[in-house]
Chains A and B, each alone.
Chain A
């Protein structure tokens, strides 16, 4: 009896130690990757007009832009593995009196490789009636994975391009002044989406002019020439590009181990040779 209780105590103590050590880590980590407060830098008031000039914004930062109806507006927002990113755009339409019909606005999201990303939820496209003053678009991406096979189109850590434009409108309404506000927020996807693996580098835009090489001299690739670092304008989200080592899978697995050990002790206790009978013998 004494040995079993000592064993149980030891197992419990071990479990408690693991859990208590993990506890603070959990508290730390869940606090940081969630949407950061609208940052220290002032929110941008201009949008880019193509992929290369896309304005970099931070998560939780409400950027604005004034434009003409028909412009293609581009922003770029960083997203880390394990985040559910939602992009919300509010377009303030030109005065109704100057418009001639309904207009369809659309929000497109592309990853750092300019691959179109699906919206898992939200209304990325909406038609505004003539009398409407604003139109609100929303797109929630799939959970950003830390790694995927090269042939997959899964969302990966890195830059995400957001394109806002009008796709269908009466021709007379082109060029009328409109303004837009864009806000990208991220939520932690939780342990059920905690996956393994890591990219060599996040998918960030290449900011380097190309060079045509001489085939006669350049017979081999030079690994030192590899460069695809995140541009200065695009900082990693608060928690970094990868979610770190912590996930609630540690609690589940450790708890499973503790339960298994306890059950083992209980099973042994039930099936072991009875001491009383031993003593009687």
Chain B
């Protein structure tokens, strides 16, 4: 009987999940008429691009050929722009040289022939103002909710100190919705690699060291495709506060925030009886950090800790994450489900050498899910069933004893009946 009830309940649950699964999908499809992604290719046209060390060609001509291939392959729904750095000023003045960045092709619907013609005119000329070029590229891509990606192709480190391109990249990433900078290095100098990996790390991008023309084209195409395939959901920026009482009220969904070293950030949400809260948090290591680090996520109601999730690790990493879940049981007597204020506290134990800037904070991604009906397990074993030889022995011996007892009882009964 119980089993039949369970089976029926299972079928009901199945049809419910099927129905629920169908409708939100349709709703999401309606809602997210996502803006087409924006990509800007930033190409170094500094004097050093004349060096002939890529498949026997100059870096510049290799880049031009790769660009032709890439421009042919750009997906239609990507808005692409091209920016150059060091293309115009051949002189010795640093102030002039460091202003030398120009938008070669504006971000928008791509006219392949026009873009190719523009690229063909380039010839290696000036300085390597990476920082200013990134700043300008950030402006080119500004506006709208589209996912944004910068692909930086260069053969040398920035020559425009004190503006640190790595800091520029981190500020760009912190200033708006998802911006990723991928870097491709055409030479093998330690300084350049350090700078490019730092830029990539600061924005959650990648660094590639290029030594062949095909590799340059393939990787650039791959990065543009990644922009095109970006997830439809962009996190909502939220500003967590230092205590539970002043924390911003959030619901289910994906959020982004920034948290400094050893800072604690609080977020508040309402969870009703019969709902389960699921939260996970990822704290990104977007700069050079010390070897050991960790993250702690706590769910607190009033002054009582409900549950916590934590993780710690050491070594090279992009993020460290933790998650938790907590369900409030359904109250049978209440007509309307009571609501609980739950505060989420996110803290991290990252640290960094003194030379590393601490602002803006580390990127935090918080996802919150609310599912209805808290789960429950009535028994540890499946349907409370048993298993194993001991179970068989126990049942057999019990049966045997019961049989013997019943036999003896009837024997006594017969004996009593006979004597009467």
Contacts and interface: CB of A to CB of B under 8 A. Distances in A.
A150 B233 contact: no
Interface size bucket, B side? 35 or more
A111 B222 contact: no
Which bucket holds chain A's interface residue count? 35 or more
Contacts of A213: 249-251
A257 B395 contact: yes
Interface in A12-64: 46, 49-53
Contact of A265 (B206, B311, B369, B403): B403
A240 B15 CA distance: 13
A66 interface: yes
Q: Tell me the interface secondary structure of chain B in the complex.
A: mixed
Contacts of B418: 281
Interface in A59-84: 66-68, 70-72
B341 to A, nearest CB: 9
A211 B383 contact: no
A220 B339 contact: yes
B6 A50 contact: no
Which residue, of A67, A174, A191, A192, has the highest number of chain B Cβ atoms within 10 A?
A174
Interface in B329-343: 337, 339-340
Nearest to A173: B209
Contacts, number: 333
Interface string A166-203: 11100110111100000000000001101111111101
B242 interface: no
A245 B401 contact: no
Interface stretch (A85-93, A112-120, A126-134, A135-143): A112-120
B392 A50 contact: no
Contact of A175 (B185, B272, B397): B185
Nearest to A267: B403
B395 A176 contact: no
Contacts of A172: 188, 190, 193
Contact of B226 (A49, A116, A222): A49
A211 B319 contact: no
Interface of B: 3, 6-7, 10, 13-14, 17, 20-21, 24-25, 28, 185, 188, 190, 193-194, 196-197, 204, 206-209, 211, 215, 218-219, 222, 225-226, 229-236, 238, 248-255, 268-272, 274-276, 278-282, 307, 309, 311, 315-319, 321-327, 337, 339-340, 365-388, 391-392, 394-408, 410-411, 414-415, 418
14 contacts: A49-B226, A51-B365, A52-B235, A197-B379, A206-B253, A206-B254, A209-B236, A215-B268, A229-B17, A249-B381, A263-B396, A264-B400, A267-B404, A273-B411
